[in-house]
Each structure stands twice: as structure tokens, then as C-alpha cells.
Amino acid sequence: MAREFAKVGVVGLGTMGAGIAEVIARTGIDVVAVEVDEEAVDRGRTHIEQSTARAVAKDKLTEDDRAHLLARITYATDLAAVAGADLVVEAIPENVQRKSAIFAELDGIVGQETILASNTSSLSITEIGVHTGRPGKVVGLHFFNPAPVQKLVEVIRTVVTEPDVVTDVVSFAGMLGKEPVVIGDRAGFIANALLFGYLNHAVSMYESRYATREDLDAAMRFGCGYPMGPLALLDLIGLDTAYEILETMYRQSRNRLHAPTPVLKQMITAGLLGRKSGRGFYTYDGPDSPVVV
Ligand code: 3HC
């Protein structure tokens, strides 16, 4: 019998965590959303309120359904609030030590049957899972940006993940209206392993002034039918996140395709992180605004 997911914890309410909490609450499941402090909780709550308000404005959600969705999410700054959850999805920044520490702490808080999932883009689920007393109940559950829109969810199983846990998480992803794919634990999984070599190559073409940002993006949109060009997509993903993903894949595979193009690091150091900081390859009015410059 399929496992019931009545209550789900989401740890970390950045762009991905907030989107994941919204998607889960939209399905009618209670969500406990945890951030490090009140300020971060407020940012996450605002993100969800704005995103659902946009959905109402576009007639994709009624005011009533939005009110129910928002009421299903409770916020906390203490990890202990996820006690009683059937599943916890961690979506904090890409740092294996911090993720491992969170998993170790969660292990002592939740019930023995609770599944612990990480939304990591490229870090090893196996490495994170061994910091718990239940590596068989640890999986990757990788959403794509923007989480409320992108259909794909990668379910990552390690060599010790229990088969029933994989089945349950796949059916959970289906319940959310997502298309799950199951894959082993290798940096980048399927989509990022294929995508980031291409994105990195576009950055190097831009860095060497081989083509303008507009022409690079136009070529892939109008020539290949991609919804966004590579540089606009990097601005959406966040240059810091993209750099971390490339670095992790490069460390693991030593494939030069994934050696981060130097200008990426320079832009990050200069604070050009993409949409979230107002400027990356392009300049923005706000995180969801159209391109300004
Ligand atoms: N939240 C909710 N809905 C959103 C949204 C958001 N943040 N952004 C856009 N949407 C919705 C819009 O409301 C709109 O819905 P509608 O068609 O029902 O009106 C629909 O998505 C299309 O949006 P827009 O018309 O505003 O703009 P676009 O047609 O350009 O679509 C896009 C925007 C969905 C972002 C599209 O350009 C796209 O799919 N881009 C590629 C994104 C991508 O490749 N993501 C994966 C990145 S890799 C990743 O996430 C992995 C991680 O590990 C880094």
C-alpha cells in the first residue's frame, strides 16, 4: 500500500525551498517550513505569498484555494518543528558539511520511518545519508527552477536506499503533479550533468567575446526552441549556485566541460549573482522582473 504523506517538512526557504513548499501545500499536504531566523522565514513567506498571488492574478488558483494553501504552511526557526513529519525535504545552500549536519540533527528529531530527502543539485546523497542512523531512508529529491512550473523531479537512490522508499517517493512526486525519473548517485544526476556543460560553454563564448549575450541567447531560443538562452538561464539559476554545481561535477569527473569558466567566479565576487541580486549577465528590476538592460 502506498505510504501516506500527511505532513512534510521543508528545510530552507530560498528560491527552491519556497517553491517546493508551495508545490507540496498546493497538493493539500501540511507543510512545516524551517529557516535559520525570523528574517529568513519572512523572506520565504513573502516569496510564497507573492508567487501564489501571481497564480491568482493569472486565474490558475482561486482566492479561496490560495488562502487554504497558505494556511497549510506553518513556519519555524527550530528544526524540532518537523517532528511528526512523514518526509523532510532539505533545500539549504550547496554545502555538504552543512547538509550532513542538518541530516544528523533531523535523524534525532523525526520518527524512525520518516524519509529524509535532499534537494541537492550535485552533492552526494550517499555522503549526506551516512550522517544519519537511517541511510536506507535517505534519497535525493531534486526539483527544477521555478519549482511550481518545471515538471521534472529527479529521485536519487543510493546503493543502500530501500526500494520501498524509492517507490514511495516516486509516487509522492507523481501526487505533486511532477514527472519523476529515478537515477543513481552521481554528481549532476541526469539533467544538470547534461545541462551545465552547455551553460559553461556559453559562458566561455561570452567571456572570449566570441558572441554577444543577446546573440548567444537568441541562437538557442530561436534556433533550438529553448525557452531561455543559456545566459538568461544562468541568471535565473543564480551564478553562485551554477558555480557550485560545476565545481562539484568537475571535482568528481575531471571533465573539462565542467571546469567553471573564470569569469563566473569574477562575477560572483563582484556580487553579480543573477536575478536574485538584480544583476548577472543582464540587469533586472527585481527577482521576477523582465530584463531591463
Ligand atoms: N513561479 C510560478 N510560476 C511561474 C514562475 C515562478 N517563479 N515563473 C514563471 N511562471 C509561470 C508563469 O506564470 C506562466 O504561466 P502561464 O503560462 O500559465 O501564464 C508560465 O510559467 C510561463 O511564464 P512566462 O510567460 O512569464 O515566461 P516564459 O514563458 O518565458 O516562462 C520559464 C518562464 C517557465 C522560466 C521558462 O522560460 C522556462 O522554462 N525556462 C527554462 C527554465 C529551466 O531550464 N529551468 C531549469 C534550470 S536548472 C535547475 O533548476 C536545476 C538546479 O539544480 C539548478
The closest-lying atom of ligand 1 relative to the alpha carbon of residue 144 is: 50
- 152 phi/psi in degrees, rounded to 5: -75, 140
Looking at every residue in the chain, the average pLDDT score rounds to 96
Number of Cβ atoms within 10 Å of the Cβ of 252: 16
**Residue 228 Cα, ligand 1 centroid: separation in angstroms?**
9
pLDDT digits (tens, 9 = 90+) for 185-216: 999 999 999 999 999 999 999 999 999 999 99
Long-range contacts of 289-293 (CB under 8 A, 24+ apart): 291/232
Residue 1 has pLDDT above 80, yes or no: no
Which of 47, 61, 149, 222 to mutate for ligand 1's pocket (most ligand atoms within 8 Å of CB)?
Answer: 149
Using CA atoms of 270, 276, 278, 281 in order, give the dihedral in degrees to the nearest 10. Answer: 70
Structural domains in the chain plus CATH codes? 7-183 (3.40.50.720), 192-277 (1.10.1040.10)
pTM for this predicted structure? 0.94
What is the predicted pLDDT for the residue at 292? 63
Q: What is the mean pLDDT of residues 228-249?
A: 95
What is the predicted pLDDT for the residue at 287? 60
Q: Are 94 and 245 in contact (CB under 8 A)?
A: yes
204 as an active site residue: the answer is no
The closest-lying atom of ligand 1 relative to the alpha carbon of residue 146 is: 7
pLDDT digits (tens, 9 = 90+) for 268-284: 999 999 998 999 999 99
**Residue 88 Cα, ligand 1 centroid: separation in angstroms?**
25
Q: Which of 118, 119, 124, 192 is catalytic?
A: 192
- 94 phi/psi in degrees, rounded to 5: -75, 80
pLDDT digits (tens, 9 = 90+) for 89-118: 999 998 999 999 999 999 999 999 999 999
Q: What is the mean pLDDT of residues 32-45?
A: 98
94 as an active site residue: the answer is no
What is the predicted pLDDT for the residue at 288? 62
What is the predicted pLDDT for the residue at 290? 63
192 as an active site residue: the answer is yes
**Ligand 1 neighbours (beta carbon < 6 A):** 51, 58, 60, 121, 144-146, 148-150, 192, 227-228, 233, 237, 241
pLDDT digits (tens, 9 = 90+) for 177-190: 999 999 999 999 99
Residue 291 has pLDDT above 80, yes or no: no
Residue 250 has pLDDT above 90, yes or no: yes
Q: Which of 142, 200, 247, 258 is catalytic?
A: 142
Using CA atoms of 43, 49, 51, 57 in order, give the dihedral in degrees to the nearest 10. Answer: -150
Number of Cβ atoms within 10 Å of the Cβ of 216: 21
Q: Are 99 and 123 in contact (CB under 8 A)?
A: yes
**Residue 194 Cα, ligand 1 centroid: separation in angstroms?**
19
pLDDT digits (tens, 9 = 90+) for 134-150: 999 999 999 999 999 99
What are 289's three cell numbers? 522582473
207 as an active site residue: the answer is no
